[in-house]
Structures are given as C-alpha cells and as structure tokens.
Structure 1
Amino acid sequence: MFLGSQDIQLGVNESLLDTSKVVSSMVDGIMARVGAHSEIETLAKYSTVPIINALSDLYHPTQILADLMTLHELYTPKGSEPHTISPATTLKNLRLAWVGDGNNILHSLMLQLPKVGMHMTMATPKGYEPNTAILKQARNNALEAGTELLGAFHDPKEALQDADIIVTDTWISMGQEEEKKQRLQDFAGYQLTREMIEASGAKAGWKFLHCLPRKQEEVTDDVFYSPHSHVFQEAENRKWTILACIHQLLVKKGF
C-alpha cells in the first residue's frame, strides 16, 4: 500500500498509536517518511511489524546506504566486483567533507562513516551546527573506530582541505520554506564551486555527491555536471538499497 499525505494524516485525525496498530495489521512491514523523529519512534513502539525510517527530521539512514553503495562502487579496485569486497576495505581512510546545513543527512553520515573506517570534516554556518547529542555520539563512534570526525567548522575551505569526497544537500528542508530568505543570507559563501573546491586543497580526484533535488545556490553546474559528480549513480542506488532494506525486513519476518 502507498499512503501519501492525501490518504493518511499521521497524528491529525487519528493518533500515531492508532495508525501504527491499524496499518501494521494489514502489512508485513512499514517504510515511513515523517516529520519529527518521535513519530518514527512511536510507530516502532506500537507497530506489530518492522519499521524502516525512510526520513525523519533527525536521520535519513536509507539515503546514506545509497551514498555508501555509490562510493563502494567508485572505489572498488579495477578487476574486482563490488560484491566480492567489503566497503570497510574500499572506503577505509577516505575523507568526506560536508558543506551545508546541520541536518538529517549530516547526522546519519556522522554516525555511519566510522563503521566503514571513513574520516569526516564538516562546515556549517553559525547557528546551523549538527545536533549536539548526535555529534557527541558520532565522535564516540569515531574514537572507537580510530577515525577522525573534525569540525564543525564555519569556513567551507577548512572542511574541504584534503577531501576525497564532497557532499552537500538542500539548505531549505521540508517545513522550512518560510525561512528561505533568511537561510539564503546565512548560507552566503557556502555554494560549492569548482574554484572553491580546488583552491581549498581537496584531493585531485575528488568526488561529489548530492541526494537531490539540487538547487543552483547549493552547487554550481561546473561541479554538479562535472566528471567529479556521481549524483545520478547515487540516485539510482536509492532503488537498490531500498530493495535491500525491504529484503532484510522480509527475512526478519521469516519469508
């Protein structure tokens, strides 16, 4: 079943508790895109089937799976097939630089990259830093894994130095449309350009990712459509990683 915003109103005409119980009685699993992360937690608490977080205001784990799959494909040595080698081997010691908002994508990257041995730097405008509790947990994860989690810087050039991979995202997420004018002012100087990246000392073979849709103010065409960009491969991999999530859900259910 597909239940869009016109079909179901989570927590409006029916409580999340009731929705969780009713929908989970009809299906073998639920993939939910919500607003507040507490909504995912409520669904998981009362559902009788597994819940996949397809997006919340704090995390976007399914997007990070697609990002890691894309990077794994890109860094798999020539002559090897990606499925024959571990991402913990292909991605180990690579440095990813984030330039943008302290949002759900950044939170999930911070938590997941240490698991494959990747280092990370980040730059956000003042007032747009990542969640402090999540940042603390991510730094603990990095310490345990022996990786680096540097920042949050407020100068994109600092974050871009020595970067193998560069990632950004929208500056105006769902529900923040009224803040657009202020956010565009606050993010002045954060637009990724070829000149900025190369002047900042990124690695010669740097790679660029963006989860889409992209807006011009976030990244210029000379980056987005360049040979360094792998955004469309990344977009396709959303399909394969979501299918893998659903497969694991069905395995958990005993199918």
Structure 2
Amino acid sequence: MIFEKSSTRTRVSFDVAMRQMGGSAVILDTHTSQLGRGETIADTSRVLSRMVDAIMLRANSHKSLLEMAKWASVPVINGLTDRSHPCQIMADLQTLEESGLALKGARIAWVGDGNNVLNSFIDAASAFEYSLIAACPNGFKPDAKTVENARTKGARIEITDDANIAALSADCVVTDTWVSMGDENVSQRMQAFAPYQVNEELMAKANARAIFLHCLPAHRGDEVTNAVMDGANSLVFAEAENRIHAQKAILRWCLEK
C-alpha cells in the first residue's frame, strides 16, 4: 500500500482486510520509500509487481494512478485520487443496501463540494440505477466530463446550486468536508459552502427516513451539525466499518481474477 496522502480509514481497512483474509500488507509513503527521493512511478511499479500480489495507491494525482497501472503486472487498486474514490462508494452503497433502501430508483442527494467522492457517486449511478442530484456552489461543481459520461450511459444526474432542491424528498443525503487535503483558499471555500451545511432543517426536507452519510473525517459545525451526525438516521459509523468489508471484496476480486 502506497500513501501519498494521509489516511485513517483506507489504511486501516485495507490492512485489517488483508490480515483477516490470511494475508499481510506492506505500507509505504513518500517519506519511507524512494518515491520521495525521485524514483519514478514506472520503476516503482515494475519493482513492486515482482514482490507483491496487488498494489493499492492513495495518490495526489489521478495521473499517478494511471501511470502505476500502466507499468504494473499485478492489480492496482485506486485508494483515492484527486479524481475519484471508488472504494468509498462501494462501502457507501453497501451501507444503503444494508439499511433496506433499494438502490434502483432511489434518490440520492449530494450537498457540498463537487469532489472526488461525488465523481465516484456519479460514475456508479448508471450501474446501480439511482438518481443523483448534487447541490454545489458555483466554482465547485463536479467534473463536467464525468457528468456527461454518466448521462450517456443512462444515469439520471442533476446539478443545482440549491441545497434545498437537492434534499427535497431525498432517500439519502451525503456530504463531505469542505476543505480537502491540499485545498487552497480555505477562507474563500468556507464562505462559498456556508449555505450548504447539512443540518436538521435541511434533513427535514428529505424523506422522513432519509439516511445521512459522510465518508469522514467530519468537521462538526461546518458541513454537518452534531444533531445530524449523531442522529437516528445517520449511518456514518456503519459506513466507515463497511470499508473493511468492501476492501475484502475488492481484494478478492482482484486476486482471484
């Protein structure tokens, strides 16, 4: 496992998943590997492919992931990039299904930053047949090509700048931190996202049993209030636990191909 970014849930869930499945994990970062001293991703990928059965990369840039996959002869797993976070979405969708929500036809509302997690929710929409409406401030919309590609596959994707419209009659409301690792202009972002806090008033516009999800870490009092985070409809900690089970499924699929 290679970490260019800090991690709690991704690191622990993959490590625990490997141990519970009878394997082991080697953890590297840019401070404890030659990547931090200029060794290329291509060379690193070719070397590791001769030593391990799979590579998980949590990268600053999606280009780094593609470069790793290009040169690897073993499966490469996307542990997060600036473009997407598919491992998180697998855990999120598992959590929704376990709650009893039928994904087909469900209405999922995203409120906040049009970031990598939202991109992955958009990517998955056509396969799982849910509709997704995302409320993001101007300047922070999701990747336009990602939205267009999903729509060509039949996904029902709506983009708005009004959180109230997104939350209306939603079966699930999802948010994420307003300031991700590496983001700049923090004060500008905080000002832009202030109307997008998920609070009890916003959740009241969703269905009465609407589920709240957050991939964590959460900044309580910013993107979400304590009342919502700790409320009866919040499944954020089950969502976090499901990272282990989702990673097991990913690893098994990769290693048994």
Q: Equivalents in 2 of 1:181, 1:163: separation in Å?
A: 30
CA offset at residue 41 of structure 1? 0.4
Residue in 2 that maps onto 1:159: 166
Q: How many residues align?
A: 231
Q: CA deviation at 1:11?
A: 7.0
Within 2, Cα distance between the matches of 1:148 and 1:44?
A: 30
- Equivalent residue for 2:47? 22
Q: 2:256 is paired with a residue of what secondary structure?
A: helix
Superposed CA offset, 1:104-139 (max 9, x none): 000000110221121110000100011111110111
Q: Does the CA-based 8 Å contact 1:31-1:51 persist in structure 2? A: yes
Contact 1:62–1:242 (CA under 8 A) maintained in structure 2: yes
Asked if 1:117 corresponds to 2:129, the answer is yes
| Structure 1 residue 244 displacement after superposition | 1.1
User: SS of the counterpart of 1:157?
Assistant: helix
Which of 190, 193, 196 is the matching residue for 1:190?
Answer: 196
Q: Distance in 1 between matches of 2:34 and 2:225?
A: 37
Q: Distance in 2 between matches of 1:116 and 1:9?
A: 40
Q: When the two structures are superposed, what TM-score results if normalisation uses the length of structure 2?
A: 0.87
Name the counterpart of 1:97. Answer: 109
Q: Is the 8 A contact 1:162 1:203 kept in 2?
A: yes
List aligned pairs for 1:48-87, cutoff 5 A.
Answer: 48-75=73-100
Aligned with 1:211 (options 208, 215, 230): 215
2:152 paired residue number: 140
TM-score (norm 1): 0.87
Do the aligned partners of 1:157 and 1:197 also contact (CA within 8 Å) in 2? no
Give the % identical residues. 42
Q: Shift of residue 197 of structure 1?
A: 2.3
2:109 and 2:174 in contact (8 A); partners too: yes
- 214, 226, 238: which one aligns with 1:233: 238
Q: Cα–Cα, structure 1 residues 140 and 10, in superposed 2: closer, same or farther, change >3 Å?
A: farther
- Of the structure 1 ranges 130-139 and 224-233, higher mean CA displacement relative to structure 2 is found in 130-139
Find runs of 4+ consecutive structure 1 residues off by over 4 angstroms.
Answer: none
Alpha-carbon contact 2:125-2:150 (below 8 Å) kept? no
Cα distance in 1 between the residues matched to 2:37 and 2:142: 29
For residue 150 of structure 2, what is the amino acid of its counterpart?
Answer: A
Select the residue among 26, 36, 40 that pairs with 2:65. 40
Which residues of structure 1 form unaligned runs of 5+?
77-89
Q: Which residue of 2 aligns with 1:248?
A: 253
Q: CA deviation at 1:8?
A: 2.2
Deviation at 1:12, TM superposition (A): 5.0
Q: Cα offset for 1:6?
A: 1.9
Structure 2: runs of 5 or more not aligned: 1-25
Cα distance in 1 for residues equivalent to 2:36 and 2:76:
17
Displacement of 1:5:
3.0
Three-state SS of the structure 1 residue aligned to 2:38 is coil
- Select the residue among 127, 140, 150 that pairs with 1:128: 140
Deviation, 1:186, is: 1.2
Counterpart residue identity of residue 173, structure 2: I
Alignment correspondent of 1:149? 157
Q: Any conservation in 2 of the 1:211–1:231 contact (CA below 8 Å)?
A: yes
